[in-house]
Chains A and B, each alone.
Chain A
Amino acid sequence: MLYITSNIFIHLLPNRISYEIKKTESSMSFNIENYFSYQLKNLIFHYKGNVDSNTISRVLDLFDEKMAVANNSSRLRKRAYNVLVESLQNLYHHVDKVPDDFNEQADRFGVLWIIKTDTGYQIVTGNFIYTDNIEKLEKRIQKINSLSREGIRDLYKFILSHQGLSAKGGGGLGLVDIARKTGNKLNYSFVKYNDEYSFFYLNILINEEQKD
């Protein structure tokens, strides 16, 4: 079920917010919700469960409505919407299977937080990943994070023109597009669930003035 945790999302934020990710969780105390080390006062909404096409539509509609009343610039609105599309569709296309002993079984299990910040939005997604797949994903993110804005644009064009359509459709452009649209580094972490599985968090900031 989709649920809105707060209808009012224009709050004053504390002066300093730490976007640091907790990296010290042990698998024994694994709790998806423990991601944030601070209280989420400006949560627009939170979703946890199966990420299917209908869920994506509903979340996008809700976000659209939220942004429409938030008086954002149309540039921020478009970027945030685009980034949310890619984040959700990354979950849709790329999540690994849920561990058998996990208490919520779903074909495509994912978690999402959308938070209003004083300069824009923060979108955090989480999903299970086979530990064996971490290295590949981390290398990919590190590569994107090492590039300049122009470098990211070139990489986007390269992938677009040189790599064929994958069965999943995205062809590996999603993360590159997120980095390109936000102008920010991709903040991420892997939290061990057990020997076979980890949980991957992607923490995306979309700021009003960024990018130029």
Chain B
Amino acid sequence: MEPIFIEGTPKTPTIKFDSKTGIFEIKGRSIPENAIEFYKPFVDWLETYKVDPLSKTVVSIKLEYFNTSSSKCILELFKKLEAIHKAKNEVEINWYYEEDDEDMLEAGEDYEAIIRVPFKMMEITM
């Protein structure tokens, strides 16, 4: 399975899902008007990846901003990861937030409460 990669724009994040290494990253801003359309290829990609995933997948989320439209799509991605984890594969989500950004920390905690995958809250010191 080929890795999937997209460069960020002012409204959409850089996304790299590397199926060779199991290192996945979402980074930047996610504030598109139509988040479903933007995330669909990545949700679909994970749907395929979860059939035969690597034994370990590490996902880093380094978002500066995300809108409510994206929040549901991010949850969709996490649900795919949850399924991979449930199938006895190692999955870890590293949720990055800047030290004074309690909103981003809370957002990570909200996902952690909903999704059964180990989360690590990673503070970025400015």
Residues of A within 8 A of B (CB): 53, 56-57, 60-61, 73-75, 78-79, 81-82, 85-86, 89, 92-93, 153, 156-157, 160-161, 164-165, 167-171, 173-174, 176-177, 181
Please judge, given known A-B contacts A61-B10, A74-B100, A79-B103, whether A173 and B68 are in contact too, CB under 8 Å: yes
Partner of B98 from A53, A74, A89, A171 at Cβ < 8 Å: A74
Known A57-B11, A75-B100, A75-B101; contact A171-B72, beta-carbon cutoff 8 A: yes
Considering the complex, give the chain A residue whose CB is closest to the CB of B79: A161
- Chain A residues, CB < 8 A from B71: 160, 173
B33 touches A82 (CB 8 A): no
A165 near B65 (CB under 8 angstroms)?
no
Known: A89-B33, A173-B71. A160 touches B110 (CB 8 A): yes
Is the CB–CB distance between A82 and B65 below 8 Å?
yes
B 72-126 contacts with A by CB, 8 A: 72-73, 75-76, 98, 100-103, 106, 110, 113-114, 126
List residues of chain B with CB under 8 Å of any chain A CB.
10-11, 31, 33-36, 64-65, 67-69, 71-73, 75-76, 98, 100-103, 106, 110, 113-114, 126
Q: Once the chains bind, are B10 and A89 in contact (CB under 8 Å)?
A: no
Report whether B103 and A82 are in contact in the complex, using a CB–CB cutoff of 8 Å: yes
Chain B neighbourhood of A78, CB < 8 A = 64-65, 101, 103
A160/B36 contact (C-beta < 8 A), A75-B101, A165-B72 known: no
Q: Across the interface, which residues of A come within 8 angstroms of B64, CB to CB?
A: 78
How far, in whole Å, are A72 and B72 apart by their CA atoms in the complex?
A: 30
Chain A residues in 8 Å Cβ range of B114: 157, 160-161
Given known A56-B33, A89-B33, A181-B103, contact A169–B69 (CB-CB < 8 A): yes
A174 to B66, CA, bound (A): 12
Contact of A169 among B34, B100, B106, B113 (CB under 8 A): B34
User: When the two chains form their complex, are residues B75 and A157 in contact, meaning their CB atoms are under 8 A apart?
Assistant: no
Contact of A86 among B67, B76, B101, B106 (CB under 8 A): B67
* Contact partners of B69 in chain A: CB under 8 A: 89, 168-171
Tell me the minimal C-beta distance from B83 to chain A in angstroms.
Answer: 15
Q: Which residues of B contact A181 (CB under 8 A)?
A: 103
The answer to whether B103 touches A85 (Cβ under 8 A) is no
12 additional A-B residue pairs with CB within 8 Å, beyond A61-B10, A78-B103? A53-B33, A60-B31, A75-B100, A75-B101, A85-B31, A153-B106, A153-B110, A164-B72, A168-B69, A169-B34, A171-B68, A176-B68
C-alpha spacing A117/B2, complex, angstroms:
51
CA of A73 to CA of B36 in the docked complex: distance in angstroms? 32
Measured CB to CB, the nearest residue on chain A to B106 is A153
Q: Quick one: which of B67, B68, B69, B126 has the most chain A CB within 10 A?
A: B68
Interchain CA distance A81-B67 in the complex, whole Å:
10
Contact status A165-B68, CB under 8 Å: no
**Contact, CB under 8 Å: A161 / B10:** no
